[in-house]
Structure 1
Amino acid sequence: MNYFYLTFKMKILHRYIITEFIPPTLLALFIFTFILIMERLFDSINLLISKGVSLLSVLQLLGYVLPSILVYTIPMAILAGTLICFGRLSSDNEITAIQASGVSLYSIFLPVIILSLIVSIFLVSFNEQIAPRAFNRFRQLYYQIAQRNPILKLEERTFLEIEDYRLYVEKVKQKKGKLSGIIMYQMEEDGFPTLITAQRGNMVSNEQQVLFRLFDGSIQQKDKYDPNKYSITYFENYDISLDLSQTPPPTAKRIRQMEKSELLREIRKLKKDNIPTHSLEVEYHQRRSLAFASFVFCLIGIPLGIKARKKGKSVGFSLSLGLFLLYWFLLVEGITMGEKGIAPPLLGVWIPNLIIGIAGTWMIYRTAK
């Protein structure tokens, strides 16, 4: 009878600890994700308002980039949630009261540790498969949008290369495709570019072609036989048509777009040809290292939260940001050592987890003792 009573009591306790842990973790996840996605959000609003991209396409782009952000914000949220949860339990003397009833601290810590371990195991697959697949779709969708609306690549006072042309525009009205202060260089085989200038112009495009209709300008060409001579032709309107169908889609994947199987295949292929694979191996191991950051953050967050003994979510957020900056510094150093061959890639990217995990385990032992 006593056994069943203790089991029932522990279930209630574990359920209570989990309910204290999940809400601040979800809140932290929302806040951290929102902060990191802000830059993309501003870019998306610019695409929607200034460049005429549809709302559906903008939402798709944000959706595809979100997994790459969650790779970092989920571990940060686990850390913040752990700090806030155990900080509140400690500050309200609930941990002391639970201990007084004969329950060990390890029993209090266990549900959050197990939950963070489950999250880490899930993140292994998420980081290796879902995030790179989503980023690959982001890149493909952006290419498709650019094909339909090349003007979204056009920025004021910035050179843009399209086929054999280099284009500079002083002012751009993105939505209407109106340009002013236009300078174009057409690269020729003889090495002497043709300079085309126009006071204003329009840009019209579809998936196959982009048409520049220029007004009130001139064309300057050097004599290929005598570079000291050149000719100037003035025009009221002049059309330049560029074939976009010849521009191939981005088929070659960047490292961060590769899924686990693709990374391993590329590593084996390069090793067979005696080509260094440090960067690929670092990326492969880094994804698993980041996944288990949730677990080690939980280990360090429990004792730190108890020692903080302060109410309020601001303490948890501040501590979590500081710890994550430390983790990120160690990770960057480890990545650098792994890519340069100073340390094995596996060891390089797991250094932060080892340091923080060992420190957290030791602090839990000291706290429970």
Structure 2
Amino acid sequence: MKILDWYILKRYLFTFLMMLLLFIPIGITVNLAEKIGKILEREVPFGAVAQYYLDFTIYFANLLFPIFLFLSVIWFTSKLANNTEIVAFLSSGVSFWRFLRPYMIGATLIALLALVMGLYLAPKASKGFNQFKYKYLKNNSKVIQTQNIYRQINDNDYIYVSNFNPVTKVGRNFSLEHFEDNKLKYKISANSIKDNDSIYRLTGYVKRTFGDFDDTIETARRKDMAFEFDADDLTPEEYIAETLQYGELTKFIEKERSRGSSNIGRYLVVKYKKWSIPVSVFILTIIAVAVSSIKRRGGMGVNLAFGITIAMVYVFFDKVFGVMAEQSSFSPLVAVWFPNIVFGILAVYLLYNAKR
């Protein structure tokens, strides 16, 4: 690498790091100011709070990775343009494509980091982030009052739980119905069900077996049983998808698809975003360079204003199409990649004009 490459690459990575170090403490401060009352009221251990904000940092850094990168590239490239350094580079015989090379090297490094975070680090952080929120920051009544969960766990068995606590792994008003040849053979019901390492403890157990002429009823105050489902099958959908690493998420989606789950779209959005975010790093880097490499009369303020506008539109597209895929039959693949396609076309157009 030549001096020009090192000069731009160091500025690229340093500005991006400074952007993270600037905005993440602000986010932590705002979040802590909002949550400090409940944390003190419930005497949350310091270690749990520290781990929560470590998970918070990874979770939101991964979520806002492209935006931080976009603003940082606009910031330092605008400074290069205002100091007439870009004019000096190009006047020395360096082509615009050659000038763009260190940006692409930096984008590759950041994209690899984003990929590792999305596939491995962010799911673990998301799990800790959500568990802390459910355990300490929400009232117990709000935690367990989730929507009714009705699932098909295999060809013959259907389960129902009126509500489920993902932290204590306790469900209320549980029932299991077993069918053979479209006829209900038996039904198990219980006031509560608790997961103890894949062995479930039923309280207020009742099993009714349906016969041709009469029924048999078995009752027990407490009964331990093994079932063909795990606690993840009872966990609220918004909570589980973000906490699974890529391989686990893929298997989970296949299992849910075989069960005819109505939430496949939500899971696929999470899966596809793990790959779309690294690609967006390259697209937004090109847009940022194309926008800010020209010296403007208004200085850096014009470039930053234009950059923030583009960032807001990108986030708007990402959120709107993500919600459409989660709550309708809209294709999750199209929803996740549509912002990248649109902004990829914009990147080519802006790059062509900036090159001219």
Same fold, judged at TM 0.5 (above)? yes
1:79 is paired with a residue whose SS is helix
Aligned pair partner of 1:109 in 100, 125, 129? 100
* Counterpart AA for 2:241: I
Would the aligned equivalents of 1:64 and 1:138 in 2 still touch at CA under 8 Å? yes
Would the aligned equivalents of 1:80 and 1:319 in 2 still touch at CA under 8 Å? no
Cα distance change on mapping 1:307 and 1:162 into 2, 3 Å:
closer
Aligned pair partner of 2:79 in 76, 80, 88? 88
Gaps of 5+ in 1: 1-9, 147-151, 164-248
* Counterpart AA for 1:365: Y
1:86 is paired with a residue whose SS is helix
Would the aligned equivalents of 1:289 and 1:350 in 2 still touch at CA under 8 Å? yes
Q: How many residues align?
A: 267
Would the aligned equivalents of 1:47 and 1:58 in 2 still touch at CA under 8 Å? no
Give the match for residue 89 of structure 2: 98
Which TM-score applies when normalising by structure 1? 0.63
Aligned pair partner of 1:336 in 323, 334, 338? 323
1:74 aligns with 2:65: yes
Aligned pair partner of 1:119 in 105, 110, 113? 110
Residues 308-317 or 257-266, more deviating: 308-317
1:12-55 per-position Cα deviation (integer Å, ceiling 9, x unaligned) = 01111123323332222223323433442224533554443232
Query: Where do residues 148-167 of structure 1 align in structure 2 (5 Å cutoff)?
Result: 160=141
Gaps of 5+ in 2: 145-230
State the distance in 2 between where 1:37 and 1:361 align.
36
Cα distance change on mapping 1:353 and 1:161 into 2, 3 Å:
closer
Give the match for residue 305 of structure 1: 292
Aligned pair partner of 2:309 in 322, 326, 341? 322
* Counterpart AA for 1:363: L
Give the match for residue 178 of structure 1: none
* Counterpart AA for 1:53: V
Query: For the aligned residues, what is the CA RMSD?
Result: 3.1
- State the Cα distance separating 1:113 from its structure 2 match: 1.8
Which of these two proteins has the greater Rg computed from alpha carbons? Answer: 1
* Counterpart AA for 1:19: K
State the distance in 1 between where 2:9 and 2:45 align.
42
* Counterpart AA for 1:82: V
- State the Cα distance separating 1:96 from its structure 2 match: 1.4
Cα distance change on mapping 1:160 and 1:269 into 2, 3 Å:
closer
State the distance in 2 between where 1:263 and 1:281 align.
9
Which TM-score applies when normalising by structure 2? 0.66
Would the aligned equivalents of 2:74 and 2:292 in 1 still touch at CA under 8 Å? yes
Give the match for residue 125 of structure 2: 134
Aligned pair partner of 1:20 in 8, 11, 30? 11
Cα distance change on mapping 1:272 and 1:161 into 2, 3 Å:
closer
Would the aligned equivalents of 1:64 and 1:134 in 2 still touch at CA under 8 Å? yes
Give the match for residue 259 of structure 2: 273
State the distance in 1 between where 2:295 and 2:25 align.
26
Query: Where do residues 186-201 of structure 1 align in structure 2 (5 Å cutoff)?
Result: none
* Counterpart AA for 2:84: N
Give the match for residue 341 of structure 2: 354
Cα distance change on mapping 1:40 and 1:115 into 2, 3 Å:
same
Residues 11-20 or 34-43, more deviating: 34-43
1:229-253 per-position Cα deviation (integer Å, ceiling 9, x unaligned) = xxxxxxxxxxxxxxxxxxxx99835
Residues 295-304 or 116-125, more deviating: 116-125
Would the aligned equivalents of 2:296 and 2:302 in 1 still touch at CA under 8 Å? no
- State the Cα distance separating 1:342 from its structure 2 match: 4.8
Query: Where do residues 38-53 of structure 1 align in structure 2 (5 Å cutoff)?
Result: 38-53=29-44
Residues 331-340 or 299-308, more deviating: 331-340
* Counterpart AA for 2:242: R
1:347 is paired with a residue whose SS is helix
2:64 is paired with a residue whose SS is helix
Cα distance change on mapping 1:323 and 1:38 into 2, 3 Å:
farther
State the distance in 1 between where 2:17 and 2:343 align.
23
Cα distance change on mapping 1:137 and 1:340 into 2, 3 Å:
closer
